[in-house]
Structures are given as C-alpha cells and as structure tokens.
C-alpha cells in the first residue's frame, strides 16, 4: 500500500456533516480509457481538537511506551 494523494485536479470536496473532522475529495486522475477517478476520505487526527490536558497525558503515555520498547530491544 502506498498513499500518494490525488494525481490530478480535485473536482469535488465535502465535509462530513456527521463527523466534522472528516472530509472526502474526488479527483480526475483516471487512467486512459478506463474512466473514473479517485475518491479519498480524510480524517484529521483527534489530537488537534481534543482538550490539551487529555492530549498531553496520552502523548506522555506513548512516550513512556516508546522509551520502554527502545530500552528492551
């Protein structure tokens, strides 16, 4: 799997009304004579909009986990 984004112009773009941090985009990057393009769904990481104290607590736990893994390897 390799994600490279759209390869041609974006022709449509919408925010998800039920999940405000999720968007969908469609582009014209089709291969010759095969029709269609690509549809991509994007979801922003929740660390952007969650309360700062929650985010810092989660990041500290992750940091501790990474350091422990590095120490044990």
Per-residue pLDDT of the chain (73 residues; tens, 9 = 90+): 566 788 888 999 999 999 888 999 999 887 666 667 888 999 989 999 899 999 999 999 999 999 989 888 7
Whether 65 is in a domain gets the answer yes
2 found inside a domain: no
CA angle, 73 then 1 then 20, to 5°: 95
- Asked whether residue 4 is assigned to any structural domain, the reply reads no
Report yes or no on 56 lying in a domain: yes
The total domain count for the chain is 1
Residue 27 lies in a domain: yes
List the domain range (segments joined by +) for residue 40.
10-72
Contacts with 11 (C-beta within 8 Å, 6 or more apart), sequence order: 26, 27, 28, 37
In a domain, 1, yes or no: no
3 inside domain? no
Residue 29 lies in a domain: yes
Q: What is the pTM of this model?
A: 0.58
């Amino acid at each position: 799997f390799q994600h490279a984004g759209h390869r041609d112009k974006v022709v449509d773009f919408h925010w998800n009304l039920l999940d405000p941090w999720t968007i969908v985009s469609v582009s014209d990057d089709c291969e010759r004579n095969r029709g269609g393009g690509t549809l991509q769904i994007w979801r922003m990481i929740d660390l952007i909009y969650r309360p700062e104290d929650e985010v810092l607590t989660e990041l500290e736990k992750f940091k501790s986990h990474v350091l422990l893994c590095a120490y044990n390897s």
